[in-house]
Chains A and B, each alone.
Chain A
Amino acid sequence: EAGVTQFPSHSVIEKGQTVTLRCDPISGHDNLYWYRRVMGKEIKFLLHFVKESKQDESGMPNNRFLAERTGGTYSTLKVQPAELEDSGVYFCASSQDWDSQETQYFGPGTRLLVL
């Protein structure tokens, strides 16, 4: 069974540009999460989808970040316009059911560098 995949693995952009990150969860997983790790800090929650609906987006830093999950399969996270402080590793995770104790399986992350 394929794990969580993310694309691209790395992205280097200039301040003010737009970047779109993609996450493909494990097939059949209804729950999809985005997290971010800024250098020197802990991994922090951004948002949670249940199928195509945003269950919790309270971790999104500001309105420059837009996440979508059309059709309840893959998800995209767009940053527009990117700022220097957006640099970090963006992780996606998925879990199967709407169960508070369900294990989240992580992707390898997208390393974003904003210059």
Chain B
Amino acid sequence: GQNIDQPTEMTATEGAIVQINCTYQTSGFNGLFWYQQHAGEAPTFLSYNVLDGLEEKGRFSSFLSRSKGYSYLLLKELQMKDSASYLCAVLGRGSTLGRLYFGRGTQLTVWP
């Protein structure tokens, strides 16, 4: 089975740094994605990690530890437009190749 857990809500202040954690227990693992979703819009791709370590992309970074079943998304220099839901998703393998398993999402609110 698949179990992907992330906090339901987080709040932060404009200009601050926030870390959104994701833990997973899956029967097959082929990488981990982070998506951003504004209300009523499509989930948009942020990052993909398949090897352990940190991937940096501008203000956003994503970290993966496969041995611990753990990932985080780090958002720096927060802006109001970063208020959105952040989705952690694990990519299946084997018979579930291509399938994404999602957490319920973390609703981030950025205050001025």
Q: Are B104 and A41 in contact (CB under 8 A)?
A: yes
Stretch at the interface among B10-18, B65-73, B76-84, B94-102: B94-102
Residue ID in chain B nearest A40 by CB atoms: B104
Q: Are A45 and B101 in contact (CB under 8 A)?
A: yes
The size class of the interface chain B forms with chain A is 20 to 34
In the assembly, what is the distance between CA of A109 and CA of B87, in Å? Answer: 15
Q: Are A104 and B100 in contact (CB under 8 A)?
A: yes
Give residues 94-113 of A contacting B (CB, 8 Å): 95, 100-109
Q: Are A42 and B93 in contact (CB under 8 A)?
A: no
Question: Among the listed A41, A48, A101, A104, which residue makes an inter-chain contact with B30, where contact means beta carbons less than 8 Å apart?
Answer: A101
Q: Do A45 and B43 contact each other (CB < 8 Å), given the known contacts A101-B50, A106-B35? A: no
- Whether B48 is near chain A, meaning CB under 8 Å from some CB there, is yes
Residues of A within 8 A of B100 (CB): 33, 35, 43, 45, 93, 104
In the assembly, what is the distance between CA of A35 and CA of B43, in Å? Answer: 12
Q: Do A3 and B42 contact each other (CB < 8 Å), given the known contacts A42-B4, A56-B96, A100-B91? A: yes
Q: Do A56 and B105 contact each other (CB < 8 Å), given the known contacts A42-B4, A43-B87, A103-B33? A: no
Q: Do A103 and B30 contact each other (CB < 8 Å), given the known contacts A45-B99, A56-B99? A: no
Chain B residues packing against A (C-beta within 8 Å): 4, 30-31, 33, 35, 40-45, 48, 50, 87, 89, 91, 93, 95-105
Between-chain CB contacts (< 8 Å), 8 pairs: A3-B42, A4-B42, A41-B104, A43-B43, A59-B99, A95-B98, A106-B43, A108-B42
